[in-house]
Amino acid sequence: MDITSIIGLIVGFGGVLLGYLEEGHFQLSSLGSLVNPAAFFIVFGGGFGATLVAFPLGEWKKMLSTASMIFTQKEYNEIDIINELADLSEKARKDGLLSLEQDAQTNKNDLIRKGLALVVDGIETEVIKDILARETALQEEIYESGAKIFESMGGTWPAMGVCGTVMGMLNILKDLSDPLALGPKIAGAFIATFYGISFANLAWLPFGNKIKVKAQRETMINEIIIEGLLSIQAGENPRIIKEKLNLNLMEKLNGGNKKGEATAEEGVEA
């Protein structure tokens, strides 16, 4: 369970509602004014409808398969995986690659299990590298598709909120016979904007970003696994494999900062 997603939603929506209550001097009855069926239909219906138009059914299936990443946490550790690969290398050097056949069937990591099976079968290095790299790229594409849908919802819903507010104002301006009722009616019209902005910025955009962050980490780990498996097949020294993969991990973890610094420097020069 990814507790940060749950806490974030509670703190985010809770903070907004608490602020609204504070403005209303903590009268719980004021929360009832946030319930507006018309605004709900316009924002939720219009937002989902627009996103359905934007993406084919296949992309929605990918999104549904990745949505669980928002609230679940894969139990893996980069250092543990590197140590495991080093142990497998030592086993292969002592007893031969065929000794890894059992590990190819029982390993908890899907990519390690598939890679070990290819290594044990004696598949050529370039073929193994290509198969595992394409497997990683395919999974990354699925994650990216899921993130794009949430990001699209984050962009569409505020617009639908504004649309709902405009429609509400149009209905209000049709009848100005009761000036005292204008205030509550105008306030109700802005509920649609509240729905659109709050859900976009407290849910949909953060959901898309969380999927992308987790996908980047998984891709990084998969790249380390591929390098480790190829090193095992090549019969490299377990200690060297461990050192190499640790350095690879450090480079990947620091790579984002270096890239960001380079981009900043280019902007200054420009």
CA distance linking residue 42 with residue 167, whole number of Å: 9
What three-state secondary structure class fits 174? coil
Alpha helix (H) residue ranges in the chain: 3-23, 37-40, 46-54, 57-66, 78-95, 103-106, 110-120, 125-173, 182-189, 191-199, 205-234, 238-269
Which pLDDT score is estimated for 103?
87
Which pLDDT score is estimated for 262?
41
Domains of the chain, residue spans: 1-35, 37-262
Asked whether 129 and 230 are in contact (CB, 8 A), the reply is yes
Each residue's pLDDT expressed in tens, for the chain with a length of 270 residues: 889 999 999 999 999 888 888 876 677 777 778 888 989 999 999 999 999 999 999 889 888 888 888 888 877 788 889 999 999 999 988 888 898 888 888 888 889 999 999 999 888 999 999 999 999 999 998 999 889 999 999 999 999 999 999 988 888 888 777 777 777 788 888 899 999 999 999 999 999 999 999 998 888 899 999 999 999 988 888 889 888 888 888 888 786 444 444 433 443 343
CA distance linking residue 149 with residue 14, whole number of Å: 25
Which pLDDT score is estimated for 161?
93
CA distance linking residue 238 with residue 152, whole number of Å: 46
Which pLDDT score is estimated for 234?
87
Backbone angles phi, psi at 218, to 5 degrees: -65, -40
Which pLDDT score is estimated for 269?
41
Asked whether 192 and 43 are in contact (CB, 8 A), the reply is yes
